[in-house]
Structure 1
Amino acid sequence: MTRRGPSTDQIHHPFRAPDGWDAVPVPVAKASTVLFKNTAELHRPRARDGISYRYGLPGTPTTYTLAARIATLEHASHCVLTPSGVSAITLVSLSFLKPGDEVLLPDNVYGQNRHLANGLLARLGITHRFYDPLDVPAFEAMLSARTKLVWLEATGSITLEFPDLIGLLQACRARGVLTALDNTWGAGLAFNAFEVAPAVAPGLGADISMQALTKFPSGGADLLMGAVCTRDVALHRELVATHEYLGYGVGQNDVEAVLRGLPSIALRYRAQDAAARELAQWMAARPEVARVLYPALPDSPGHVHWRAVSPEAGGCLFSAVFRPGFDARRVDAFVDALTCFGIGYSWAGPMSLAVPYDLSRSRSLGLPWTAEEGARWCVSRSGSRRSRTCARTWRRRSTC
């Protein structure tokens, strides 16, 4: 028998760990190459179910475990993971839109979704229009035979209007139009994306729910990941097929980090919700501020729709609209003076953040307040648990 070298001995070592091991953490399975028992198994057609093994890119036991847990969080049956929230949005649009189709997006849609529609989708011959998420009759009038997908967002980006989800979903269902909800704000906790108001409209919900796992599920501000969930197996198979075309994959250590964060997601959501409420109410009393945009506040756009769908969860985000006369320089000075807030994008991590916005370039249908009421400048904030203790610092230093 030919003696094998030490490298060969290591690669083909016969030891296999015995069965019976179990622990709280999910084992991390890293792989590009997946081994088959024999050539018959290699040649066997692989089911398009999104949970079989052929190569490491589609998934490993670790990623499929996370997908199953996110599906449970979202009250769904199926889930696919993507490298970011933006890639999850792209997956949905490319799975269900083709040249000649139209997609409708809320005017307060996440900026990267707007960018996708204006850029790549337009180059592919897919048209788009923006709608007012609070005006259902106008939205219904926009639906046509070419409308194949409607994006919903609850709450809307930056201005945080809570849409009339019930009315919008009913209009889409009556016309047979596919609906996709960006549920990053709700995270599967604020409301059930697939049954948004069971007491009012049983069985009414979105066809697809996506969220950026970068936010609440991770909670660490240290990774990028997205998820797309559905209850419909046919929709799931379309998503899996496009997922393979795009070559989406997620890092196993990032998957491990999300799995580690999931058990505390409900506790973190409630704590950040409480912090944001306290800060939003304090900010609303500031003389420099025209209004605070936060779904749980009675004068926030869409408050009545928020009460119909998610009356307990206000979320960790709010925006403050400054009164006329406060220009970019003064708003920036306000943000720079904050001591317990970082300046940066994203939210739901361990640090509170603040970002100034000029919304004049990111809205097509105007702003949800009048020029007399407030300037176009606002500051969007996310409140962490720690920020609840910083109100005195705000009062002392956060002046314009």
Structure 2
Amino acid sequence: MRTQRISFVNRQGERLAARLELPEDERPLAYAIFAHCFTCTKDLTAVVQISRALSSRRIAVLRFDFSGLGESEGEFSATTFSSEVTDVLAAARYLEESYQAPQLLIGHSLGGAAVLAAAAEIPSVRGVVSIAAPFRPAHLRGLLGASAARIEKEGEATVEIAGRSFTIRKELLEDLEAQQPEVTLQRLNAALLVLHSPKDEIVPISNAAEIYRAAQHPKSFVSLDPADHLMSEHRDSRYAGELIAAWAGRYLSQSEPELLTAEPAPRLDNRVTAHTFAGAFRTEIFANGYPLVADEPLSYGGGNEGPSPYEYLLAALGACTGMTVQMYAKRKGWPLEEAVVRLSHRKVHADDCRDCPEPGAKIDLIERELELIGELDEDQRQRLVEIAEHCPVHRTITGEVRVTTRLKEETGASGGEGAQEK
């Protein structure tokens, strides 16, 4: 995926900082907006993980900091629930003017309540996702504890939230109380996906049940057990991202005929790309528009979340072998129904290797078993085995291969608007 630094202006004239997560070739099928939780930022681990999971499925995601938070301008103490809703609307307007109107809104915690409230004001929206969201925005008052009474009495107060100090004014509490979630959900003219964990100790899962009951169909609910409220475990946020992408595919316009027949836009980059992040071997691969995942087994320190690099090598050889023999059989008019290729890889001692740099060295041995299903005679079968030896990938890995490596030049180092991050 590619990450672009962008910014846009909200209704108050404040510049809000954002990141746009794009598929590697920058040809998304649809655009989404992600609204983070109260006092969080666009860079919360769960927000980043979910956004990148969606971008790997060709859904671009705009994640931004609400006014007064993260890198955005504005004074947090002036924030109200309604101002967060207007920030979502500003993000939607920016996408519509600069890229494409958003079809999907995603919100976490209070951000979930905000996107539910904003959805009716964005005609292009076809799907809304609430993650660990409160049914009533006023639920936040209860989380403030004794500070809520002090805010009402004194007009404002400084409270500690997750180890940070925030000034909250009475206007926020009054605005939260004024919200009518039943009316908001009845106005929702889009499909709804409710995600919530029964282990959530900040916003109990009963809130998800109320959201689901109040909304009209089409609606879906999926449990995020065993995730916590912030989905601090990477596997939980990645799971949520994959769920959202799979669910959204049914409602987004990416399957409409006019998109399928449209003239393809020139690609920025059609190479295979692999992104390996710090802390693990899990690697996200983007190949010709298709997302893949590679990893190592648990015994090698990996998470076992995908095939290993060597298994992908065997997969490439197996696929090429099957395609090659099928192509040859079709050209000859032979009744080959199926070609099944089974492969394994191991290191073996190379006693007879004249080019080995030292005695006792090992070489790579790939063993390939070819099963040919169909009414073929013995001569045809033997000929197809010979053809298998000449598949392009076979010739590549057994021929002379040179791999050159260069360091990509840094671009956008100043971090200005439009700069790219990897």
TM class, shorter-chain normalised?
under 0.3
- Max Rg structure: 2
TM-score normalised to structure 2 length: 0.22
TM-score normalised to structure 1 length: 0.23
- The structure with more strand, counted as a fraction of residues: 2
Q: Tell me which of the two structures has the higher relative contact order, counting C-alpha pairs closer than 8 angstroms and 6 or more residues apart.
A: 1
